[in-house]
């Protein structure tokens, strides 16, 4: 695997998971841990990650993944949270929903037959609720 291919894989993994481990990367790439550490040093020097013992974590600018990336991360967990959240709703309540992809999942999970008042500052949440009859 070429250096740029390794770097792109590392960037993609950081965007999806927020961290990488040097040993796992070395096994995946079929290279030495020294090679991976050199890759991590280069990416850290470019400001694309922050090195930590045993690997690297996403740096602040890189951690700000796109909405699309965040929406596709931990989907099952978000669905479980959404199911639990809507399980405590009752008709006539007022619900304040902040922004974020987990809150968008909650908004999508709200039953369409329950009457609520919902306030939000999030276009994503408002979009998820746009088809509600109330």
What domains does the chain contain, in order, with CATH numbers?
Answer: 3-63 (1.10.10.10), 68-129 (3.40.50.1360)
Contact predicate 128/107, CB 8 Å: yes
Asked whether residue 16 carries a pLDDT value surpassing 50, the answer given is yes
> pLDDT-based confidence at 21, cuts 50/70/90?
very high
- Of 123, 99, 126, give the one whose Cα is nearest residue 110: 126
Output 40-45 pairs: Cβ under 8 A, ≥24 positions apart: 40/10, 42/7, 43/7, 43/10, 43/11
pLDDT mean across residues, the chain: 89
Strand intervals (E) in 30-110: 49-52, 55-58, 94-97
Residue 107: C-alpha distances to residues 7, 18, 23, 72 (Å): 36, 25, 40, 16
> pLDDT-based confidence at 125, cuts 50/70/90?
very high
Contact predicate 22/33, CB 8 Å: yes
What's the chain's length in residues?
A: 134
Residue 76: C-alpha distances to residues 11, 61, 102, 104 (Å): 23, 26, 11, 14
% residues pLDDT > 90 (the chain): 70
Between strands 49-52 and 55-58, the pairing is antiparallel
> pLDDT-based confidence at 134, cuts 50/70/90?
low
Rounded CA-CA distance 7/43 in Å is: 7
């Amino acid at each position: 695997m070429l250096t740029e291919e390794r770097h792109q894989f590392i960037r993609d993994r950081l965007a999806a998971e927020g961290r990488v481990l040097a040993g796992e990367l070395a096994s995946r790439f079929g290279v030495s841990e020294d090679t991976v550490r050199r890759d991590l040093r280069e990416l850290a020097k470019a400001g694309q990650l922050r090195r930590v013992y045993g690997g690297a974590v996403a740096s602040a600018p890189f951690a700000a993944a796109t909405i699309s990336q965040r929406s596709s991360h931990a989907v099952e967990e978000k669905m479980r949270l959404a199911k639990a959240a809507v399980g405590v709703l009752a008709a006539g309540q007022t619900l304040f929903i902040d922004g974020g992809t987990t809150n968008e999942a909650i908004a999508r999970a709200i039953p369409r037959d329950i009457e609520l008042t919902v306030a939000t500052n999030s276009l994503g949440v408002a979009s998820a609720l746009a088809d509600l009859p109330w």
